[in-house]
Amino acid sequence: MKPADRIKKLINKSDVTTSSQADNRILGDALEHLEKLKQKKLATTQPNIWRTIMKTGTKKLAAAAAIAIIVLGGVTFWPSGGSDNGKWWLGPPAAWGQEIMAALDTIKGVTCREQTVLVMSDGSEHTSSTWDILYVSSDSYRRDIYDGDFLREIQWYVPDGSGTLQHSIRYDLKSYFTHTGEGGFGNHDPVERMRFYVRLLDEADKLLGETVIEGCNCVGFEISAGKYGDNPENWVDCIWFDTETKLPVRMEKHGRPVTDQPDKTFTTIQDQFDYNPELSADTFIPEVPEGFINAHPDEIKASKEKEQKE
Amino acid sequence: MEDKLLVLKCKRGSRDALGRIYRKYKSDLLILAIALLNEKSAAEDVVHDVFVTFVQSLEKFRLTGSLKGYLLTCVANRARNTNKAKQRQQNVVPNPAVPACSCANGPSQSIICNEELQQLSVAMAQLPYDQREIVMLHHQAAMTFKAIAESQGISVNTAKSRYRYGLDKLRLILDNEAKK
């Protein structure tokens, strides 16, 4: 045997057993420093300590919505009250829009629900069985995708150096997939979208009036998507504000085309907003459940299809 | 990819992730430290310091290669410093009786080495430190001579020749051991 192989074999066969005393000393001290690091981080980013309100399943959504209502009901960003008749939205949007923007700047995190509604040629609507819960903090984004009551997938977008680590786990395929991409998660950020609409309110096409959403009195505005980008005029967006807190409670995008089905459109609805919720510290920490395989969902589907054909 | 996630979790303060990294690599790190220092308590100190420093630097840490390789390099660097400090001490204080192999399983049972590790440690102790380090880094950490040369501030040719000398000497040592 070559000396190099011999030494390699010796190294490979070498082993140590550590006592709990040694483990406690090494790991214990490292953990102690990790706690210090956490405390230091907490001191600088206090509002990011969150407690889980919505952990799993649709059953808890109702509870989350109820909490959201309580939270929203209890927070008033506008001590000045607004116009004489209390209908602040009838005043110039430049003034109250600025107040909303300032309030949005103070938001450290949001959770909300996102649903898609398919609109048929006869105008009938079918809500997709797939819906999401979005968790957004100042630097991270998480999307829990449900199919009915079944949590099918979780996607995380978390900062990783100059890029964003995108990690997803598929419960239906028992798989996970990770890659680091460029840029952030801006397109997914509902708060960013709120800001975008508020900036456009000067150009709103329609005041939708008042209605009750999730138990709150709300006022809505309609803006044609033609007001931004190269979008057609029949793409319509709506945003609804709580008349008391002035925070958005619902956003809708209507009239978007369905690929290969020209007679249908779809509507995306974001609602059940919860501002500054307390979430558990691990909400934005990507997980790999025990036994899940590392593969892209497309690869798994292709291999399953191949198996079925054979 | 799992290491990247574990590091990310650690960055977010996950105790479980740190525990998993420790359990995953503690043997490799201790084997390297023991082979380099030929002393269990010093090896334990080195691995301890490496983990503590790793946590302390987590905020700025970004994993670009393998986590195992990174941690093994940290162990090698620390072991080199420990060895230098030990040499300085021995130059000042009369050399105490150093046991032929202080990694043998004596009364201190905090780290127990198997027979192969004891054999490895005895053999390595007979090599000059520079050769020992290159042999271990090349074989255990799977580091290229170029990477080793860069980490030690020497030329690639020097790293290669030190490796060759080390390997030749190890062959003789192991042959002699086998004859006994």
pLDDT of res. B14: 81
- Residues of B within 8 A of A8 (CB-CB) are 139
pLDDT tens sequence across A205-251: 889 989 999 888 999 999 999 888 888 888 999 999 999 888 999 99
* Contact at CB, B31 and A15, closer than 8 angstroms: yes
Instruction: Tell me which residue of B77, B80, B14 sits closest to B50, measured CA to CA.
Output: B77
pLDDT tens sequence across A7-50: 888 888 888 887 778 888 888 888 888 888 777 766 654 433 33
- Residues of B within 8 A of A15 (CB-CB) are 27, 31, 113-114, 116-117
- B108-118 in b/e form (b: 16+ CB < 10 A) is eebbbbeebbb
pLDDT of res. A234: 86
pLDDT of res. A44: 54
State percent of chain A over pLDDT 70. 83
CA distance B158 to chain A (A): 18
**What's the pLDDT band for A119 if we cut at 50, 70, 90?**
very high
Work out whether the CA dihedral B155, B161, B166, B171 comes out positive or negative.
Answer: positive
pLDDT tens sequence across A51-104: 333 333 443 444 443 333 333 333 333 334 444 467 888 888 878 888 899 888
pLDDT of res. B92: 54
Pairing between β-strand A206-213 and β-strand A216-224 as defined by DSSP bridges: antiparallel
Instruction: Tell me which residue of A236, A242, A243, A17 sits closest to A119, measured CA to CA.
Output: A236
Contacts of A158 (CB under 8 A, 6+ apart): A139, A140, A141, A164, A165, A167, A284, A285, A286, B8
* Contact at CB, B14 and A282, closer than 8 angstroms: yes
Q: Enumerate chain A positions whose Cβ falls within 8 A of a Cβ in B.
A: 3-4, 6-8, 10-11, 13-19, 21-23, 25-27, 29-31, 33-35, 37-38, 41, 158, 160-161, 165, 167, 178, 281-282, 284-286, 288, 294
- Check whether A163 has a pLDDT greater than 60: yes
Strand order through the sheet with A175-181: A206-213, A216-224, A236-242, A248-258, A261-275, A109-119, A125-137, A141-147, A150-160, A163-170, A175-181, A293-294
List phi, psi (to 5°) of A225: -65, -15
State percent of chain B over pLDDT 90. 19
Instruction: Tell me which residue of B115, B54, B151, B81 sits closest to A29, measured CA to CA.
Output: B54
**What's the pLDDT band for A194 if we cut at 50, 70, 90?**
very high
Q: Are A121 and A147 in contact (CB under 8 A)?
A: no
pLDDT of res. A78: 33
pTM of the model: 0.54
Distance CA B42, CA B29 (A): 12
- Residues of A within 8 A of B26 (CB-CB) are 16, 18, 23, 26
CATH fold group of domain A49-140+185-279: outer membrane lipoprotein receptor (LolB), chain A (2.50.20)
Distance CA B159, CA A302 (A): 48
- Residues of A within 8 A of B47 (CB-CB) are 26
pLDDT tens sequence across B133-151: 998 898 888 888 998 898 8
pLDDT of res. A125: 92
Q: Is B153 left (phi over 0), alpha (psi -120 to 50) or beta?
A: left
pLDDT of res. A45: 45
Pick A184 or A129 by higher pLDDT: A129
pLDDT of res. A241: 94
CATH fold group of domain B2-92+106-179: Rna Polymerase Sigma Factor; Chain: A (1.10.1740)
The low-confidence residues of chain B, meaning pLDDT below 50, are 93-100
pLDDT of res. B11: 81
- Residues of B within 8 A of A3 (CB-CB) are 167-168, 170-171, 174
pLDDT of res. B102: 55
* Contact at CB, B120 and A11, closer than 8 angstroms: yes
